[in-house]
Amino acid sequence: MNSNEGIVNLETDYLVIGAGAAGMAFVDEVLSRCKTSTFVISDQLARPGGHWNHAYPFVTLHQGSYFYGVNSEVLERDPREIDLSSKHEMLAYYDKVMRKFLASGRVTFLPQTSYQWREDGDEDHVVKSIILSGVTYHVTVRKKFVNACAQQIKVPSTHVPSYQIDKDVRENCVPINELGSLKRSYEEFVVIGNGKTGIDAVLYLLNQGVSPSSIRWVVSRELWWYDRKWFGPSSAQDFIIEIIRVLGEEDDTGAIFRRLEDKGILMRMQDDPDAEDPKLFRCATITKAERDAVQNIKEFVRLGHVTRITRDRIVFGDRGSIPTTANTLHVDCTANGLPRQARKPIFGDDTITLQPVLSCNVTWSSAIIGMLEVLEGNNEDAKRSIIKTAPHPEAKEDWVAAFYVTFQNLVALSKKYRRQGFDGMRLSIMNHGPMLSTLYKEHFVLPKILDKMLAKAEIFLNKYDSPSA
Ligand SMILES: Cc1cc2nc3c(=O)[nH]c(=O)nc-3n(C[C@H](O)[C@H](O)[C@H](O)COP(=O)(O)OP(=O)(O)OC[C@H]3O[C@@H](n4cnc5c(N)ncnc54)[C@H](O)[C@@H]3O)c2cc1C
């Protein structure tokens, strides 16, 4: 490193932008597998952990700690359980992992710095200090530039609601983050937004002893929900096998979702048998008990999206309005945590863009990308041919496309790398039992169904990639 009037020149093998879950899992894997590689990690935040730094105080993982984080460090308290790490456990974990990185002597962390995205023709990689005016890092990259912030995670505290809030009601409208630090009590709560954050807000209020009759929940569009019991160390195998069977045997998306519902893998919030099937799926995961607990609240408001909150009305465009009062707290939960993204190539010539290669799984995916980067060295064609980017689901058709890609990738990885540490990765949801390669042999029907299923993948992927076609 040398510096000249605020310019610091650095040289590294990998320049990684983002010390969130994706960047940390990638660096961990490359650092462990290649004993000489060096890294510069830049993040706009002061600490590693990405969006967990901004998350609401009572947030937890929604799937399971035993397959989250980085490969080289345990996060779970009990590997036999689906324990859900809290925000604070997550931040302590990423601090510990970063300290381990720094102790290797091969990682330089630049907190509170911002990467300057390059214009065409720019040669340099430039990272600017946010806190020190005039301090700029010019980074020479020997191997790869790694974009570890491509997922564009949105959390309520950094999100501006799309509805109008009248001036005289603003102090009664808060993001979910503020529920944990209220200055006064309210007679009634209206939770706006019905993804995982929305149900977390409702459950938090119920757990604090708020009467169900004081809670209304604005449910703008119905979602499918995963039942968390399938994400346990002893149930994940069955989860994978059931999905392969259903995707292999059914072509129609509606039928796929109804069969998964019959098996108890998916749930809907609304019990009404005459209601339309939900159209959306965002990987939100809850237990049946949580779903049942929210059924007793005063009202599910199904009038579409809120467009305005006034002193005495919550307005839903031309679909109507409901009354509100000065004693009502409106809790915003409308940030779409992981928005739909166009799929980009993962391996460019001198760039890696971290994206999921397994449905809704950022950490295992990023470690897999790191594994390929080391094992395949300069053979970019091999890396590109083995894994593809999995869509991030919003519509239920996207989920089907995401699972096709997930299985394509798992089959290719299992065949080629099972003896090189792919089987048994801590981050694998199947790390407590036989991997796909073994399942393949044990369940003799599986290969046939899987082949049939994979033959349909392109149809769904084309729909995801060209939604308007
Ligand atoms: C509430 C919640 C619960 C979740 N639970 C689970 C779960 O149980 N299991 C699971 O598998 N997944 C879960 N997820 C999803 C998963 O955790 C996230 O998708 C993942 O953490 C995203 O990590 P990331 O590194 O891609 O993004 P981020 O966490 O957003 O990190 C990106 C980082 O890049 C930095 N950055 C951006 N631009 C720049 C720049 N120009 N220069 C420098 N730095 C920059 C940002 O400051 C940020 O720190 C959950 C997500 C949420 C929101």
Q: Which of these three, 311, 332, 353, is where a domain ends?
A: 332
Residues 365 and 377 occupy one common structural domain: yes
- Note whether residue 459 is domain-resident: no
Per residue in 23-69, pLDDT (tens digit) is: 999 999 999 999 999 999 999 999 999 999 999 999 999 999 999 99
Mutate to test the pocket of ligand 1, among 28, 40, 43, 51 (most ligand atoms within 8 A of CB): 51
Per residue in 85-106, pLDDT (tens digit) is: 999 999 999 999 999 999 999 9
323 contacts: CB under 8 Å, gap ≥ 6: 312, 313, 314
Least confidently predicted of 8-12, 142-146, 389-393: 389-393
Does residue 469 have a pLDDT over 60?
no
The model's confidence at residue 273, banded by pLDDT at 50, 70 and 90, is: confident
Ligand 1 atom 27, closest CA: 20
- Note whether residue 431 is domain-resident: no
pLDDT value of position 118: 82
- Note whether residue 254 is domain-resident: no
pLDDT value of position 76: 94
- Going from the Cα of 142 to the center of ligand 1, the distance in angstroms, rounded, reads 26
Query: Is residue 433 exposed (0-12), middle (13-18) or buried (19+ Cβ within 10 Å)?
Result: middle
Average pLDDT over residues 404-417: 86
Residues 355, 342: Cα–Cα separation, whole Å:
10
Bridge partners of 191, per DSSP, are: 217, 331
Q: How many domains does the chain have?
A: 2
- Note whether residue 450 is domain-resident: no
| H or E stretch covering 2 | strand 2-4
Does residue 292 have a pLDDT over 70?
yes
Residues 156, 469: Cα–Cα separation, whole Å:
33
- Going from the Cα of 26 to the center of ligand 1, the distance in angstroms, rounded, reads 13
Residues 188 and 98 occupy one common structural domain: no
Q: Which of these three, 332, 352, 369, is where a domain ends?
A: 332
- Tell me the two tokens of residue 97: 């992992």
pLDDT value of position 454: 67
Instruction: Indicate which atom in ligand 1 lies nearest the CA of residue 43.
Output: 44
> Which tops the pLDDT comparison, 367 or 435?
367
Residues 96 and 131 occupy one common structural domain: yes
Does residue 444 have a pLDDT over 70?
no
pLDDT value of position 435: 56
Per residue in 117-172, pLDDT (tens digit) is: 987 767 789 999 999 999 999 999 999 999 999 977 666 777 889 999 999 999 99
pLDDT value of position 280: 92
Could you give the angle at the alpha carbon of 308 between the alpha carbons of 302 and 314, nearest 5°?
50
Ligand 1 atom 20, closest CA: 21
pLDDT value of position 450: 67
Does residue 432 have a pLDDT over 60?
yes
Q: Which of these three, 278, 309, 332, is where a domain ends?
A: 332
pLDDT value of position 437: 55
Residues 174 and 146 occupy one common structural domain: no
- Going from the Cα of 451 to the center of ligand 1, the distance in angstroms, rounded, reads 33
Residues 346 and 328 occupy one common structural domain: no
Residues 348 and 326 occupy one common structural domain: no
- Note whether residue 296 is domain-resident: yes
The model's confidence at residue 461, banded by pLDDT at 50, 70 and 90, is: confident
CATH number of 66's domain: 3.50.50.60
Residues 97, 79: Cα–Cα separation, whole Å:
19
Residues 140 and 15 occupy one common structural domain: yes
Q: What is the pTM assigned to this prediction?
A: 0.94
Average pLDDT over residues 423-428: 89
Average pLDDT over residues 298-323: 97
According to DSSP, residue 177 is labeled G
- Note whether residue 63 is domain-resident: yes
Does residue 367 have a pLDDT over 60?
yes
Per residue in 315-347, pLDDT (tens digit) is: 999 999 999 999 999 999 998 766 677 889 999
Average pLDDT over residues 210-218: 98
Residues 244, 259: Cα–Cα separation, whole Å:
12
Residues 68 and 126 occupy one common structural domain: yes
Residues 17 and 91 occupy one common structural domain: yes
Residues 126 and 68 occupy one common structural domain: yes
The model's confidence at residue 251, banded by pLDDT at 50, 70 and 90, is: confident
The model's confidence at residue 464, banded by pLDDT at 50, 70 and 90, is: confident
Residues 195 and 297 occupy one common structural domain: yes
- Note whether residue 408 is domain-resident: yes
Mutate to test the pocket of ligand 1, among 15, 28, 44 (most ligand atoms within 8 A of CB): 44
pLDDT value of position 246: 87
Domain range holding 286? 156-222+269-332
- In this structure, which long-range contacts are made by residues 150-153, counting pairs with CB atoms below 8 Å and at least 24 apart in sequence? 150/341, 150/344, 150/353, 150/354, 150/355, 151/22, 151/338, 151/341, 151/354, 151/355, 151/362, 151/392, 152/339, 152/341, 153/20, 153/50, 153/51, 153/337, 153/338
- Note whether residue 371 is domain-resident: yes
Edge-first strand listing for the sheet containing 266-268:
266-268, 223-227, 280-286
Residues 71 and 139 occupy one common structural domain: yes
Ligand 1 pocket list (CB less than 6 A): 17-23, 42-45, 50-51, 55, 59, 61-63, 68, 114-115, 148-149, 151, 153, 155, 337-338, 361-363
Which among 15, 30, 17 is positioned nearest to 367, based on CA atoms? 30
> Could you tell me if 456 and 248 are in contact, meaning their C-beta atoms sit under 8 angstroms apart?
no
Residues 163, 161: Cα–Cα separation, whole Å:
6
Bridge partners of 108, per DSSP, are: 40
